[in-house]
Structure 1
Amino acid sequence: MNVEIPFESERHAEIALNSVIQDEEPRAGTHIERKITVEGNLLKIHWEAEQARILRTSAQSLLQLLILVTQTIEQFDGWTSRTSRSQWTSSSLKCPRSPNSRPVSILKLKPCRAEVANLVEQQETLTKMQFLFELPAELKRKIKEGDFESAVDDYIKANSVLKNYDNHPSFKSIQEECELEYKELVAKLEEPFSENDSEEELLIRCIRLLVKLDEDRSSSLADGFLKSRITKVKHRDNTLKSFSSEISAILADICVNITSFKNVFHERNLNSSLAAQHAYQSLKRHVNDILEELTDDFSEILVTNDLSDDQLSTSLDLWYSKLSATAQILPELNLTGRSEELVVSQAKIRHDSIRKTLFMKLEEEILKIEKSESPGATNAAILTLIRDSQHQLDKFFTMSKSYSQIEYFLVEWSDMAKTLKIDAVDHIASFCKKTLETAHPALLFPLSALASIWSETTVDQCIERKDRQTVNRLKISFSQICSAALKELVIIRGCHCAELIYRSVMAKDWLNASEPRGPRPIVKTFTDEIRKIDEECSKFMRPGVRPAKSTRSGSMRIDTLSQRSTLNIQRLFTDKIEIYDTVQSTTISVTSGIIKIALKAMLESVRLKTFSSYGLQQIQVDLSCLHHILWRYCEDESHMSTISDEILQSAALRALERELMEADVIELIVEKAQLA
């Protein structure tokens, strides 16, 4: 640490140096070094020490000695320190005087006054420095004794002095020690705010002193007061009965502490209306947080105790009545609104619980449709679930008295109750769509039948007819689900049959085929599969319009070699057959779609093979047998005839010899096969 002390003259500085230089600084065990020099009229002192405490002690001792030296110089050296005897004599000779009077020296007073003023100024400076060096110890003593008022005054006074020397390195250690003591002082003043048994007068006294030190601490003090005084009570057990007995005591304690808070953090104590407003905002936030915690605890208790509808309604009425009564004491905190929020939220939670339970039961019922007696039985079970849930919801609302006192909730609950059926039907539709993505083929038949029933009649039964827009939307949705399920079924079954036919064609050596005596085994397999599908469909849907008996001949001839060009010309004037067309909710539509997919696969496989004359005749026999059986399972027999003709023409174009079997022979083979 470096200190420079100005004197009136270099002589005075040397006198001070000679006076203090004799007092050698002890070295053993103190770890401090001191160096004193004179430059002009400045006495320069340099200290080096490992600890600030030792440095402060040494500086304090030296400054006390310098004060004594300054006082001695002022007393004994007088004005002659600046004016020599010769100067005084020469000056006094110039002054007029009478023969009998004493010499009058005008110059004598001016040097003395200036000297005294300078010495007084030096003494004041040294006194201030001594005060600063002693300040940390004084602050520590006063804080320990509890004299907080004096400690605050000393710190404020020292802080104003230290600001004048804030750029001087000599006062850095003093500032650091003062800051430590300042923090200790602030901690002592803030300590009562974190204790729940502090008296109100002590709190007012402390907050006034803290305001002197820092006006922006009101928010933190308010938070400390609130955290220590207004806290959430830990419940002995997590039961509704225990919570109900404790809630009254909790709210009463909150009221008492709010009154105390308003007295402590009043505008007259904070000296600022803005700070008082901020403190009051902290109060509102904290109490709101406590009430939110109580609300959460109550909500948790309602959930964990698994209450019935009657018990839940009674509990909500109890909560609403207690908070409504407390709201008269604390109108600023809007406790009535908070109690209403809890009642409404719990009612909505129970509504969502009933709704969720209904949805789960609906999903289980839909997944069991495969084992059900019929789609109609599943449909009836679904309607029963929806009616029971609606009745439970209406009964729950009429149990509680608090619901009727919350006006805005009456309309909201009415809307929630009305939309339960619509939400249930929407969920059925969405679940059916989701099920189609991963459904087993055996589930597609009954699922499509259920969707068909809903689209035709059940939607009208379940939802009020006044809402025609919603009814029409749901009907269209179920109709689309039915079509999607049937189309998926047709594709799955059709691809299965197509794979069987494709493998049978690709596996046979058609060039070395023997003369046909009957249809190949794949014909019976395919026709049996179609019959099976027709029987399954008839359990879940209408048969549809079946075609009349066909009069088409079983013979298929190729008269000329230019048949390919003729066939291409015929195709120009023939409507295109949609293989993957829309499937209606009838049995005939399903079987017709499967047959078209299977015959299309046969056509593509025939185009990859080469046939002998017997091989071509075998294809002719197979097609005749298929047509003999499958015409009754097609919506339009002409589609099957067109695809069959195209298959035979393709085989003929790839045959080495285009010799077809006579129609009479084919009829005999078909009758002998006994496929009907």
Structure 2
Amino acid sequence: MSSAADSNSDGRRNRGMLKSYYTQGENSGDKQFDLDDSSFKPDQYLDFLLKKSSLNELMHQEEEIVQNIRSLDSEMQTLVYENYNKFITATETIRKMKSDFGQMEEEMKALSENMDNICDLSSSVSDTLQQKRSGIRKLAGVHTLLQKLQFLFELPARLKKCIEMEAYNQAVRYYTRARAVLNQYQHMPTFAGISQDCGSIIYELGNALKEKLRDSEASSKQLAEYVDLLLQLEEPADSLCDEYLISARSRVDEKVQELEDVLEDNSVDILEFVDIGCNGVLSNVSLLVVAYNDMFLNRAKANTELDSIALQKVSALVKEILHKFFELIQKRVQLEKQTGDNAILVRALDRFHRRLQAMNKLLPTAELATLATEIVYNAAKDRIDHYYQALTDHLGHCITDIRQALAAPKLISSNLDENSSTPLQNLVQTSVSSLVEQIKAVLANLQAFIATDITFAMKSTFRRPFCFDGVREGLVVRFLRRMLEYLNELCEKPSGPATLLLLLSKLATILEESTIGYLLVLVDEQFLIVQEGDVQFTNPQTLKDEAKAAAKKLLNNYVRLEGQTLSHMVRKSVETRDWLNTIEPRNVRAVMKRVVEDTSSIDSQVGQLYDDMEEQKKDRGSDSTKRSASGLMKSSKTWSFTPSTTAAVLDNSAFMTNISKLFSDKIDIFSEVDASRASIMTGIIKIVLKTLLECVRLRTFSKYGLQQVQVDTHYLQMYLWRFVQDENLVHRLLDEIVSSSLHRCIEPSLMENSVIELICERG
């Protein structure tokens, strides 16, 4: 109980110290009213409560104090019981320890007495044998020597028995124990015989081990054991290297042949194929290298020259085996060209790369890490080449689709008005979108090669050549250039309608304006390509310039082809007509109507792709209306064509024509055209009118022939002016045609303008 009271008082004292610590700043007068404080004064506290508190508050305070007292009593009893139990337990523990120590003291006393007895006996024995110690030592030495001699005499028989039982380890152990003694005393006749017998037996043992070494069914562990035994028998390490490598290679060749059979069967996917190859070929090669290193390179007694030769041999063998293995892997990768998904291929290549990386630690001189990265890059490059060919084929399909679509009448109809749809424009946009989507799909597939979980993708020796040389330059830029080359080839050898050239010129224009820049930015962002060092990127502007040149070339060839088609029709109409015996013109010739119709059709097609005629019309102003024949004949309206004055009129007309040419700009018929509707139509019309002019200069006309030319040219003027940039150009060419006809006329007599207008309006 006293212990419990002490514990309770200690608790109260500790609580009082804590309270005094946290209430250092309080008024010292309040401590005398603190029940837990040592300076508590009960009388003053009671007087304080009676003065300050009401009856209810006093009763409440009483209840609170009673509860605290009960709580403290309960805690005190608990502490007492707990401390009492602890005290009883400690007492029992001390009692048990005293009992144990008593037993230990008795045992220690007995041990001490025994040690004293042993010391006494040892001293007695030593004293007794002191005189006979040297003799005993000699007898022990003789006994050991006799045992060794007995072992030597029995050695040949033991070796034969071990060989018969194929206990080769035991035989080698026996021989190596006795070899030093036999070599030392082989000059003695007795030992010489034993040495010869052992030598012949060991020779047989060596041959037996070599036969085992050549056994194709022996495991790698057994081969290593046989080589180790032969090395203990001091067989030449150089020849053993060859023997071991020949034997080990036969086992690896079996795995290579199995892999080749799997390749020919083509019954597994590439991931399983790589697993079979790695688990079969690479695992056996790894075991071969590990065992070889342990046997020939990591020996206790190193020989630098021998180690160098041995390392060269195993490196050459591993390279030869892996070369065949790599060929099989590459052949299997080639079979993946027809698949569009790279996920399985990349996983297989990553697994293959990891295994070769692990082997590189076993044989650093073979440079397997470099070979692994090179093989993976070649596989990736094959995929890039496959995608390039696929894109090229897709381009050919797009051109074929365009050719087939152009055969549809709705695309070549000349009845399209200003508000009609533009199927040619839609066809071009569809082709461009198809090509862009195809390229984007290819880039998405190739991103599998640089995924974050792919080990070889983290190597700069693979990533930079793959992203820059392979994807950007070898695929995207290469395909864009091939596309432009294909467009240029179509200019050199046109094999389709002229409209095809017009469509492709628009396609090249779209490439130059947006597609090239978009694709190059896309590939740079997706493959994190940045220009570093002296690496020369293909400048997007260079490709844009090439596309612009291709578009211009296509347009020029389109203008030439369309102009030649219309010119051929005009030339045939002029050459096949008898202009000297023609009747008085009453209608516009059908060929001129056909020229106007075809020109309108061409203008409609061009307008679907290069629609800028509204701006051209606005530039010309509202006064560009249909020109009357009076303007065309202004210089010849006052002529009087009587027989007596014909020569003078012609001379005057020729003179005025030459004066007019001096002050006019030269018309370049085959000048390059711009990517605008008016420029294209101007180029075509110039070729047609120039052809008509040259044909007229080669013909001779009668009066009615001249008048027919007047009617035809007036009809052309009525419709062709609206298609060109500068209508004065049409006027000048038509003026030259009429003037040339006038010069080539045998009886020049011009038709009245009113009659010409009436015929043309009626026609």
TM-score range for the pair, normalised by the shorter chain length? 0.5 to 0.7
Tell me if 1:234 matches 2:257: yes
Partner residue in 2 for 1:442: 499
C-alpha contact (below 8 Å) 1:591/1:633 kept by paired residues:
yes
**Which of 459, 474, 481 is residue 406 of structure 1 equivalent to?**
459
Partner residue in 2 for 1:605: 695
Deviations 1:206-259 (A, max 9, x none): 998x99xxxxxx999999889767646202422443652353443454456668
C-alpha contact (below 8 Å) 1:454/1:475 kept by paired residues:
yes
Q: Secondary structure at the match of 2:451?
A: helix
Partner residue in 2 for 1:455: 512
CA distance in 1, matches of 2:233, 2:707: 118
Size of the alignment, in residue pairs? 474
Residues 628 and 223 (structure 1 numbering): CA distance in 2 closer, same or farther, change over 3 Å?
A: same
Q: How does 1:642-661 map to 2 (within 5 A)?
A: 642-661=732-751
**Which of 367, 379, 393 is residue 360 of structure 1 equivalent to?**
393
C-alpha contact (below 8 Å) 1:394/1:417 kept by paired residues:
no
CA distance in 1, matches of 2:568, 2:489: 28
Residues 387 and 598 (structure 1 numbering): CA distance in 2 closer, same or farther, change over 3 Å?
A: same
Residues 206 and 638 (structure 1 numbering): CA distance in 2 closer, same or farther, change over 3 Å?
A: farther
CA distance in 2, matches of 1:246, 1:475: 48
Q: How does 1:286-305 map to 2 (within 5 A)?
A: 286-304=317-335
What is the deviation of 1:192? 9.5
| Counterpart AA for 1:390 | L
C-alpha contact (below 8 Å) 2:511/2:547 kept by paired residues:
yes
What is the deviation of 1:551? 4.1
- Tell me how large the CA RMSD over aligned residues is: 4.1
The structure whose residues are more often helix, as a share, is 2
**Which of 641, 646, 665 is residue 575 of structure 1 equivalent to?**
665
Deviations 1:459-503 (A, max 9, x none): 344343999983322322222222222211111111111111111
C-alpha contact (below 8 Å) 1:631/1:637 kept by paired residues:
yes
Tell me if 1:479 matches 2:575: no
Partner residue in 2 for 1:430: 485
Q: How does 1:146-165 map to 2 (within 5 A)?
A: none
Q: How does 1:248-327 map to 2 (within 5 A)?
A: 248-254=279-285, 281=312, 283-304=314-335, 308-327=341-360
Partner residue in 2 for 1:641: 731
| Counterpart AA for 1:502 | R
CA distance in 2, matches of 1:312, 1:585: 46
| Counterpart AA for 1:350 | R
**Which of 531, 534, 537 is residue 606 of structure 2 equivalent to?**
537
CA distance in 2, matches of 1:304, 1:469: 32
CA distance in 1, matches of 2:650, 2:234: 119
Partner residue in 2 for 1:380: 433
Residues 396 and 493 (structure 1 numbering): CA distance in 2 closer, same or farther, change over 3 Å?
A: same
Residues 518 and 438 (structure 1 numbering): CA distance in 2 closer, same or farther, change over 3 Å?
A: closer
What is the deviation of 1:627? 0.9
Residues 668 and 456 (structure 1 numbering): CA distance in 2 closer, same or farther, change over 3 Å?
A: same
CA distance in 2, matches of 1:641, 1:455: 36
| Counterpart AA for 1:561 | L
C-alpha contact (below 8 Å) 1:204/1:264 kept by paired residues:
no
| Counterpart AA for 2:750 | L
C-alpha contact (below 8 Å) 1:588/1:634 kept by paired residues:
yes
Residues 608 and 249 (structure 1 numbering): CA distance in 2 closer, same or farther, change over 3 Å?
A: closer
CA distance in 1, matches of 2:277, 2:662: 90
Deviations 1:144-198 (A, max 9, x none): xxxxxxxxxxxxxxxxxxxxxxxxxxxxxxxxxxxxxxxxxxxxxxx99996769
Residues 220 and 618 (structure 1 numbering): CA distance in 2 closer, same or farther, change over 3 Å?
A: farther
CA distance in 2, matches of 1:567, 1:502: 24
TM-score by length of 2: 0.54
Tell me if 1:549 matches 2:613: no
C-alpha contact (below 8 Å) 2:449/2:457 kept by paired residues:
no
Residues 653 and 220 (structure 1 numbering): CA distance in 2 closer, same or farther, change over 3 Å?
A: farther
Deviations 1:281-311 (A, max 9, x none): 4553342121111112122223336664221
Partner residue in 2 for 1:470: 539
C-alpha contact (below 8 Å) 1:511/1:615 kept by paired residues:
yes
CA distance in 1, matches of 2:274, 2:747: 98
Residues 196 and 355 (structure 1 numbering): CA distance in 2 closer, same or farther, change over 3 Å?
A: farther
CA distance in 1, matches of 2:752, 2:601: 32
TM-score by length of 1: 0.61
C-alpha contact (below 8 Å) 1:219/1:278 kept by paired residues:
no
Deviations 1:32-52 (A, max 9, x none): xxxxxxxxxxxxxxxxxxxxx
Tell me if 1:490 matches 2:559: yes
**Structure 1: where are the runs of 5+ without partners?**
1-190, 212-217, 267-271
What is the deviation of 1:341? 2.4
Partner residue in 1 for 2:369: 336
Residues 252 and 388 (structure 1 numbering): CA distance in 2 closer, same or farther, change over 3 Å?
A: closer
Report the identity percentage: 25
Q: Secondary structure at the match of 1:574?
A: coil
